[in-house]
């Protein structure tokens, strides 16, 4: 038995760094991921594909872990960094993008959008109870990531 939880997030932040500095940080996936909380391991699969292995949540046999891989593309002129899911890697499918706009010389406006589907080995009866918890945790991780990015500059 398994349940699938779908999550969609949109955030906008102003980062106190120049367009080039912010783009360089976000386009460097290992560097960007170092600011994301609770990453157990980031594995470089080559060709700008990375597998994210998040820390386990829960206790012993009742713990869950999300694992997924995405292929990243960066277009400096368009101000976009996108990621698309790689099928067959882990229990998640994640896609999204950053859209960057310069606001003067020292501030960059960043729009973050992501969609995720996590398939977890839990009975379907738990879906109503566990879905809000997983969505809350994901929101919290992204909020911490945004705050960490601001602190990086």
Note the pTM of the prediction, 2 decimals. 0.91
List the chain domain ranges. Answer: 3-151
The tokens for 106 are 């020292």
Q: What's the CA gap between 30 and 57, in Å, rounded? A: 22
Tell me which DSSP letter residue 147 carries: H
- Give the pLDDT of residue 118: 93
SS3 category, 62: helix
Tell me which DSSP letter residue 56 carries: P
Q: What is the pLDDT of residues 50-79, one digit of tens each?
A: 999 999 876 666 678 899 999 999 999 999
The answer to whether domain 3-151 has CATH 3.30.530.20 is yes
For residue 134, which phi and psi values (nearest 5 degrees)? -65, -45
| pLDDT-flagged residues of the chain (< 50) | none
- Give the pLDDT of residue 61: 64
SS3 category, 143: helix
Q: What's the CA gap between 100 and 12, in Å, rounded? A: 10
The tokens for 122 are 């839990």
């Amino acid at each position: 038995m398994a349940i699938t939880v779908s999550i969609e997030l949109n955030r906008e932040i102003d980062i106190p760094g120049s367009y080039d500095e912010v783009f360089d940080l976000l386009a460097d996936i290992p560097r960007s991921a170092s600011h994301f909380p609770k990453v157990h391991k980031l594995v470089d699969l080559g060709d700008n594909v990375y597998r994210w292995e998040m820390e386990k949540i829960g206790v012993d046999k009742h713990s869950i872990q999300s694992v997924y891989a995405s292929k990243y593309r960066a277009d400096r002129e368009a101000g976009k960094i996108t990621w698309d899911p790689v099928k067959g890697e882990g229990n998640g499918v994640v896609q999204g993008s950053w859209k960057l706009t310069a606001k003067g010389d020292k501030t960059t406006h960043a729009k973050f959008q992501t969609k995720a589907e996590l398939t977890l080995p839990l009975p379907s009866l738990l879906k109503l109870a566990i879905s809000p918890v997983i969505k809350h945790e994901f929101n919290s991780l992204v909020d911490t990531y945004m705050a960490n990015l601001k602190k990086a500059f």
